[in-house]
């Protein structure tokens, strides 16, 4: 295991950063237990000469936990369900997927 992989695992094992979750492929089935890092940064979007600040939801998950996340998958965190709404992006080292998500009502 590389130093970077170990550091990534340490972040996902940290109870202050990562959360227990259930990942469901296509939003179905019992799901698999994973640890995720939930981020909610504001996104600045331009509309002509104006800008709007929109909330967004990003969920990071280890590639070793979820090999092929896809739009339509769901993630349940503490009773809240989030749907992956865009193609996940892998980090440059191939350790972590970042998934854009939306909270389901």
Range of the domain at 21: 3-103
Strands 89-90 and 96-103, bridge-based pairing: antiparallel
Strands 57-62 and 32-39, bridge-based pairing: antiparallel
Here the CATH number for the domain that contains residue 31 is: 2.40.10
E runs forming strands in the chain: 19-24, 32-39, 42-47, 50-55, 57-62, 74-77, 80-84, 89-90, 96-103
Model's pTM, two decimal places?
Answer: 0.87
Distance (Å, rounded) from C-alpha 40 to C-alpha 25? 22
Chunk the chain into consecutive blocks of 10 residues (it has 105) and report each block's average pLDDT, rounded to whole numbers. 91 96 96 96 81 86 96 97 96 96 90
Domains in the chain, number: 1
């Amino acid at each position: 295991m590389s130093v970077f992989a170990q550091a990534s695992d340490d972040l996902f094992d940290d109870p202050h950063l990562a959360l227990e979750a259930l990942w469901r492929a296509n939003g179905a089935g019992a799901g698999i237990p994973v640890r995720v890092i939930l981020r909610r940064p504001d996104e600045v979007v331009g509309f002509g000469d104006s800008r709007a600040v929109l909330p967004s939801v990003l969920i990071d998950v280890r590639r070793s936990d979820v090999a092929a996340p896809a739009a339509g998958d769901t993630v349940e965190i503490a009773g809240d369900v989030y749907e992956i709404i865009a193609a996940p992006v892998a980090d440059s080292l191939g350790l972590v997927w970042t998934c854009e998500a939306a909270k389901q009502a």
